[in-house]
Amino acid sequence: MSEKVGPTSIKQWLYFEKALQFHADAEDWQSLEKVNAKMIDSLKKAGKPSNAAQLRARKSLAFTHQKVLAQLEQVKSKLAVEMRQFQQQQDGLAAYQLTQSSGDAYD
């Protein structure tokens, strides 16, 4: 007996897995968000897995989803560090410019 084709087919869960990983690797956050929303909608519509193959496919999808979330957290942390460094540089530049302009007043 073959798996039915449609939003709840095993192939569809595999598609979501590949798309999540592809867009995460490409750091294409808008596309990743769209895929994630479609995946959630499909999971809600599908309900509980109807057989062991469906369950395995969904467990694999859940594992990939967790990996992508971890990847996003790493990128988020890296970006936060870069933003702090940028802000510190801006603060230092502003202080330098202030000392330069106040020094000019005494010349």
Model pLDDT for residues 83-105, shown as the tens digit of each residue: 988 888 887 777 778 787 766 55
Predicted pLDDT of residue 98: 78
What is the C-alpha to C-alpha distance for residues 98 and 38, in angstroms, rounded to an integer? 52
Domain total in the chain:
1
Domain span at residue 30? 10-105
Residue 2 in tokens: 């073959």
Domain presence at residue 91: yes
The verdict on residue 19 lying in a domain is yes
Phi and psi at 86, nearest 5°, equal -60, -45
The set of long-range contacts for 76-83, using a CB threshold of 8 Å and a minimum separation of 24, is none
Is the residue at 26 inside a domain? yes
* Contact between residue 23 and residue 35 where contact means Cβ atoms under 8 Å apart: yes
Task: Give the tens place of pLDDT for each residue, 33-81.
Answer: 999 999 999 999 999 998 999 999 999 999 999 999 999 999 999 999 9
